[in-house]
Chain A
Amino acid sequence: MSRRRSLHLAIGLTLVLILAGAVVVSYFWLPFPPDDTSGGRLSPPGDGHLLGTDKLGRDLFTQLLLGGRIAFATGLGAVAVGGVLGVSLGLLAGFATRWLDDAAAVALDILIAFPTLLLAMIIVAGAGASLGTAILAIGIGMAAIVARLTRVLVKQVLSRDYITTARIAGVSWPGVVLSHVLPNIGPVLLVNLALQAGLAVLAEASLSYLGLGTPPPNASWGRMLFEAQATALTSPLAALAPGLALVALVIGFNLTADGLRDLTDPTRVSGPSRASRRRTLQSDSAHQPAPRADASHQPAPATGPSPESRPATEGPLAAPSSGTVATTDPFPGQVPPSSPGQVPPSDPPSGRT
């Protein structure tokens, strides 16, 4: 199991790094200038054109590399937007008074009912289709999911004894956040953000495919697939290459997330003190997504409910995480007990920031 997991991480990172490397290279060297149309309309591979040319005569491989820039910009940009917004909101909600927190939880549940892609579409409808809009829109959609995860995680951490101990020892709330909360929730967030990066790439591709993402002539992979559709029978490479690149990057992000989760998996961390601290964040059987029936966890997909979003994790780490479309947690103010034996304090310490 563990070996397979680290294999996941290795494969995932390799895929991401290869593609990232290609993107970095594209800033220093491209086979052809981006706007060079000298290749002739829809030429087959050869003559320096590794994958042939598109209908304008531009080198397809060059376009593919440029599309990689867009894919990474989307993945990382949306994660940055979603991460910063989501973690901030989640922290605020987690520390807020019970009443406010309830409200925040309901609001997040509702926001999550708007799938990332649809939310992005609305924003694009108003702001016009562009890469920036797409990144922002996807990031905002993601923020609700990240915020919800952060909130649940924060509440779990705050209910721990060592927080009380720290408070008694005179540590300020910001200090608690920095020294206890963030380090504890960080690994789980990281796993989720890696997944979200893959989903963001998929979402951007879908937007571009629908003509609502990066506008032409920029070579978004989704757009390239749309264009290549018309000539799929005659130039199959143009329809395959961007798709394969897209799949490779998304799998890369997903496997990296899988592997990272394994690294942060408490069951594999020896040393009682750390383990006991971490494990409280998660149900005690990290690889059982379906907690025993008497457990309170209701698994939710790790990923948002966007059409492209499919749960990409198996473990329960994902469980409290990301949003369920359905408000499976009907009493949002309450943190479900993280493992069967533990009864959460009925009123988690509600600090004010």
Chain B
Amino acid sequence: MPRYLVRRTAILLVSLVLAAVVLFVLLRLLPGDPVNALLPVGATPEQIEAARRELGTDVSLPVQFLRWLGDAFTLDLGRSLISTLPVGPEIAGRLPVTVPVTLAAFLLAVVIAVPVGALAAIRADRWYGPIINAVAQLGIAVPAFWIGVLLVTVFALRLQVLPAGGFPPDGWSQPGPAIEAIILPVVTVALVMSASLIRYVRAATLGVLGADYLRTARALGESSASAMWRHGLRNASVPVIAVLAVELATTFLGAVVVESVFALPGLGSLLVTGIRQHDYPVIQGVMLVSTAAVLLVGFLGDIAQRLIDPRLLQRGTS
């Protein structure tokens, strides 16, 4: 395990740096000179030069990259071109919205999907098996923002039981309004997520149900439930954890679109605004943080898998 951990950590770090390279190159390849955003109309060449210095685009690209990377490691993500405010604190200020929404949506999706998916597999012959399948099939085809719009129309506008959007100025210091504000976004993301999770859980359960060791256990006289519990759960959980890691990352990214529907001041809305305003430091910062989060979740997922099933380690190091 330690050897795997070291190796996996190295891969994580390399991936992070490479992701930063990709991000940097991608944004530099794009047309448009960010320096324009800093300049007043009719700027003189001196002003342009000064603005370049301010932006740090007066030096060669590799130097720019190293500077940016160095700054990024010290959590200095530069300043927004539009607001002239530092990007780092801006991102930090958005996390109290995006992180709770992501985690809550993820948990809710798991709570919905695991029993429903397992039920669909174990009771595939009952009438609700096909219905669960059909609903899940539908769920993966519906855009999240549309679900959001429909939920707002029904629960906020018609029934007026929940806020239509926004986040209270007091934030989490007054948990009541904050929780109310994220209920609909969380449900929206969770519904979309659970549709795909149901399919995985169902398939994983089917796989376990047909597995030899379960048949063996049952043949040896263990009850079906006990066999499922002792052998099935553990065996099914390994692939499910891999999927969950992916899904958690996907949930986090799903919030990007949904935040726009619910006017939530999270990372997603920060990114969308940044893109609309061509605010490169903001785009870069948000993308770097999101990518790091995605890579980290994958890392944790891999570690968790190997903790549960050490056999993967042996194969991995062979």
- Chain A: residues with CB nearer than 8 A to chain B? 106-107, 109-111, 113-115, 117-118, 121-127, 198, 202, 205-206, 209-212, 222, 225, 229, 232-233, 239, 243, 246-247, 250-251, 254-255, 285, 287-294, 296-301, 305-315, 324-328, 330-331
Chain B: interface size category: 35 or more
Given contacts A225-B149, A308-B143, 18 further A-B contacts (CB under 8 A): A107-B18, A111-B22, A117-B253, A118-B253, A118-B287, A122-B30, A122-B287, A229-B149, A287-B206, A288-B207, A289-B204, A290-B203, A290-B239, A297-B239, A301-B247, A307-B257, A310-B139, A310-B192
Of all chain A residues, the one with the shortest Cβ separation from B308 is A293
- Is B275's beta carbon under 8 Å from chain A? yes
- Is B146's beta carbon under 8 Å from chain A? yes
How many angstroms from the CA of A121 to the CA of B239 in the assembled complex?
Answer: 31
Q: Which of A126, A247, A311 contacts B200 (CB 8 A)?
A: A311
Instruction: Known A126-B31, A211-B276; judge A314-B203 contact (CB<8 A).
Output: yes
Chain B residues whose CB sits within 8 angstroms of the CB of A305 once the complex forms: 246, 249-250, 253, 294
Do B30 and A127 touch across chains, with their CB atoms under 8 A apart?
Answer: yes
The segment from B7-15, B35-43, B65-73, B87-95 that touches chain A is B7-15
Instruction: Known A110-B19, A315-B203; judge A298-B149 contact (CB<8 A).
Output: no
Chain A residues whose CB sits within 8 angstroms of the CB of B141 once the complex forms: 198, 202, 246-247, 250-251, 254
A-B pairs with beta carbons under 8 Å apart, 30 shown: A114-B291, A118-B271, A118-B287, A118-B290, A126-B27, A210-B257, A212-B275, A212-B276, A225-B146, A229-B149, A243-B142, A251-B141, A254-B140, A285-B210, A289-B200, A289-B204, A290-B204, A291-B207, A293-B309, A299-B239, A299-B242, A300-B246, A301-B246, A301-B247, A310-B195, A310-B250, A312-B199, A314-B199, A326-B302, A328-B245
Q: Which of A114, A210, A254, A300 contacts B137 (CB 8 A)?
A: A254
Of all chain A residues, the one with the shortest Cβ separation from B300 is A326
A75 to chain B, nearest CB (A): 13
Chain B residues whose CB sits within 8 angstroms of the CB of A290 once the complex forms: 200, 203-208, 235-236, 239-240
SS class, residues of chain A in contact with chain B: loop
How many angstroms from the CA of A296 to the CA of B257 in the assembled complex?
Answer: 35
- Is B281's beta carbon under 8 Å from chain A? no
Do B196 and A301 touch across chains, with their CB atoms under 8 A apart?
Answer: yes
- Is B243's beta carbon under 8 Å from chain A? yes
How many angstroms from the CA of A293 to the CA of B241 in the assembled complex?
Answer: 12
Instruction: Known A121-B271, A229-B149; judge A288-B311 contact (CB<8 A).
Output: no
- Is B295's beta carbon under 8 Å from chain A? yes
Chain A residues whose CB sits within 8 angstroms of the CB of B143 once the complex forms: 202, 205-206, 209, 222, 225, 243, 246, 308
Of all chain A residues, the one with the shortest Cβ separation from B19 is A110
How many angstroms from the CA of A312 to the CA of B170 in the assembled complex?
Answer: 40
Pick the most buried of A250, A296, A301, A315: most chain B CB atoms within 10 A of its CB.
A301
Do B137 and A251 touch across chains, with their CB atoms under 8 A apart?
Answer: yes
Do B256 and A117 touch across chains, with their CB atoms under 8 A apart?
Answer: yes
Do A106 and B15 touch across chains, with their CB atoms under 8 A apart?
Answer: yes
A127 to chain B, nearest CB (A): 6
How many angstroms from the CA of A212 to the CA of B19 in the assembled complex?
Answer: 23
B137 to chain A, nearest CB (A): 6
Interface residues in B179-226 by Cβ distance below 8 A to A read 192-193, 195-196, 199-200, 202-208, 210-212
A257 to chain B, nearest CB (A): 11
Chain A residues whose CB sits within 8 angstroms of the CB of B257 once the complex forms: 117, 206, 209-210, 307-308
- Is B272's beta carbon under 8 Å from chain A? yes
Do A299 and B11 touch across chains, with their CB atoms under 8 A apart?
Answer: no
How many angstroms from the CA of A296 to the CA of B317 in the assembled complex?
Answer: 13
For B241-276 the 0/1 string (1 means CB < 8 A from A) is 011011101100111110010000000000110111
Q: Which of B193, B196, B243 contacts A312 (CB 8 A)?
A: B196
- Is B157's beta carbon under 8 Å from chain A? yes
How many angstroms from the CA of A287 to the CA of B206 in the assembled complex?
Answer: 9
How many angstroms from the CA of A312 to the CA of B138 in the assembled complex?
Answer: 10
B256 to chain A, nearest CB (A): 6
How many angstroms from the CA of A315 to the CA of B14 in the assembled complex?
Answer: 32
Do B137 and A326 touch across chains, with their CB atoms under 8 A apart?
Answer: no
- Is B145's beta carbon under 8 Å from chain A? yes
Do A324 and B298 touch across chains, with their CB atoms under 8 A apart?
Answer: yes
